[in-house]
Amino acid sequence: MKAVGVVPTKKEVALLEHAEPNLSSADQVRVKTLDVGICGTDREICTFVYGDPPKGSDYLVLGHEALGQVIEVGAEVKNLKVGDFVVPSVRRPCSDPICRSCVAGLQDFCFTGDFVERGIKEMHGYMTEQFVEAERYLTAVPPELRNLAVMAEPLTIAEKGFAQAYAVQSRLPWATPGDQPGKGLNAVVIGAGPIGILGAMKCIVEGFNTYVYSRSEAPNPKADLLESIGAEYISNKVVSPAELAAHVGNIDLVYEAVGVTSVSFDVLDVLGMNGVYIFTGIPEPDSRDDIATGALMRNMVLKNQAVVGTVNADPNSFAEAIADLGEFQRRWPKAIDSVISGRFSLEDYESLLVGKATGIKNVISFDA
């Protein structure tokens, strides 16, 4: 089969020949790949800062955001059948029996760090014609989400993040009981890339007054998209973090989706009373900023603030992501469609992975 991957020893990003996978146990499913999303993680792997081939392979097939269609099921597969659309998850458990998370099927909270991730860490990804996966790592997708479900994985980042925020905030009377979880509360999303846009959609569906704080000055296509769904777009070139806070009022929740430390910590500085801040971005390990640690620490204590980092996602977040994509489609059919900025063929891999970053969410479509 054709596949796109990296060969770290040669620092090469290449179109590769990859062996067709076979079912090796009865709980597995063979999936024909339909769509694979390209994200910042893939582009970073192509700069060889991380991304490890499986043991014994000199290449790693890329791709961790995928939608496919079932073409074969093992004898013990219970809920999937040929023709079903599915989204696979990314992380697979470590094998250490002392890892309570992996034992519980919550490898997104793996304790040992010995997990593997498809398309990222020691396991081939989905940027190839077919893949085989155990049923428990696949989430079924209703046919009406055929064109959107490739965005499920990036949306799971928000799903897990919000679940963490709600767990933290169960410490106080945050939302009104019986009402939407964000009703009457203010959320700031930092960044207007795919993670930020999907996060803003999630905020609105949850009932938050939603502000997106990002770099480019409005008007621009991402700002227009966000305004069309009822978020307020604010450029950090025009409005300082202090002005943002004065405009918003108490900032109850921040969903960081930019991966840049400076603006992220500037906004942490204006997080409100009893606020919760969710970090999702992964900056360069050596990035440094001159931050006023005294003010940050005083605020955290005197304002009961909570800061949560979140990575990867559990099966429940995948189910929620599929449900929310359905909700986004009902509310904003045009806007959610336009998050997918382009569909390309596998042969376009080079410009997508190592060329200039363009658009919002670019997708490789195998039937394009």
Site string for ligand BGC, 294-323 (x = CB under 6 A): -----------------xx-----------
Which residues from 24-63 bind ligand BGC, rule CB under 6 A? 39, 41
- Choices 3-11, 41-49, 114-122, 127-135 (CB under 5 A): range interacting with Zn ion: 41-49
Q: How far is the CB of 248 from Zn ion (least distance, A)?
A: 29
Nearer to Zn ion, 110 or 155 (CB): 155
Nearer to Zn ion, 99 or 189 (CB): 189
CA–CA distance, 155 with 311 (Å, rounded to integer): 12
* DSSP designation for 238: T
CA–CA distance, 11 with 307 (Å, rounded to integer): 37
Nearer to ligand BGC, 91 or 361 (CB): 91
Query: Cα dihedral sign for 119, 124, 128, 133?
Result: negative
CA–CA distance, 73 with 80 (Å, rounded to integer): 7
Q: Which does 353 bind (CB under 5 to 8 A by kind): Zn ion, ligand BGC, none?
A: none
Q: How far is the CB of 312 from ligand BGC (least distance, A)?
A: 4
Contact predicate 295/271, CB 8 Å: no
Q: How far is the CB of 217 from Zn ion (least distance, A)?
A: 27
What angle, 0 to 180 degrees and rounded to 10, lies between the N-to-C axes of helices 261-268 and 241-248? 40
Backbone angles phi, psi at 272, to 5 degrees: -85, -175
Tell which one of 39, 60, 204, 353 touches Zn ion (CB under 5 A). Answer: 39
Q: What contacts 67, CB < 8 A, 6 or more positions away?
A: 34, 35, 36, 85, 86, 87, 141, 146, 149, 150, 152
Q: How far is the CB of 31 from ligand BGC (least distance, A)?
A: 18
Number of residues that bind ligand BGC (CB under 6 A): 11
Tell which one of 33, 41, 312, 365 touches Zn ion (CB under 5 A). Answer: 41
Number of residues that bind Zn ion (CB under 5 A): 2
Which residues from 137-176 bind ligand BGC, rule CB under 6 A? 153, 157
CA–CA distance, 243 with 211 (Å, rounded to integer): 13
Q: How far is the CB of 23 from ligand BGC (least distance, A)?
A: 24
CA–CA distance, 294 with 302 (Å, rounded to integer): 12
Q: Which does 311 bind (CB under 5 to 8 A by kind): ligand BGC, Zn ion, none?
A: ligand BGC
Q: How far is the CB of 266 from ligand BGC (least distance, A)?
A: 24
Q: How far is the CB of 6 from ligand BGC (least distance, A)?
A: 14
Single out the residue of 356, 317, 340, 360 nearest to residue 35, CA to CA.
340
Q: Which does 120 bind (CB under 5 to 8 A by kind): Zn ion, ligand BGC, none?
A: ligand BGC
Backbone angles phi, psi at 359, to 5 degrees: 70, -160
Q: How far is the CB of 68 from Zn ion (least distance, A)?
A: 16
Nearer to Zn ion, 175 or 258 (CB): 258
CA–CA distance, 234 with 267 (Å, rounded to integer): 13
- Choices 25-33, 38-46, 169-177, 275-283 (CB under 5 A): range interacting with Zn ion: 38-46
Nearer to ligand BGC, 52 or 232 (CB): 52
Residue 336 falls in which region: left (phi positive, over 0), alpha (psi -120 to 50) or beta: alpha
Which residues from 101-120 bind ligand BGC, rule CB under 6 A? 117, 120
Which residues from 62-91 bind ligand BGC, rule CB under 6 A? 64, 90-91
Q: CA–CA distance from 222 to each of 213, 296, 340 (Å)?
A: 11, 31, 12
Q: What contacts 3, CB < 8 A, 6 or more positions away?
A: 15, 16, 17, 18, 61, 124, 127, 128, 129
Contact predicate 252/186, CB 8 Å: yes
Query: Cα dihedral sign for 358, 120, 337, 225?
Result: negative
Nearer to ligand BGC, 157 or 244 (CB): 157
Residue ranges in contact with Zn ion by CB under 5 A: 39, 41
Residue ranges in contact with ligand BGC by CB under 6 A: 39, 41, 64, 90-91, 117, 120, 153, 157, 311-312
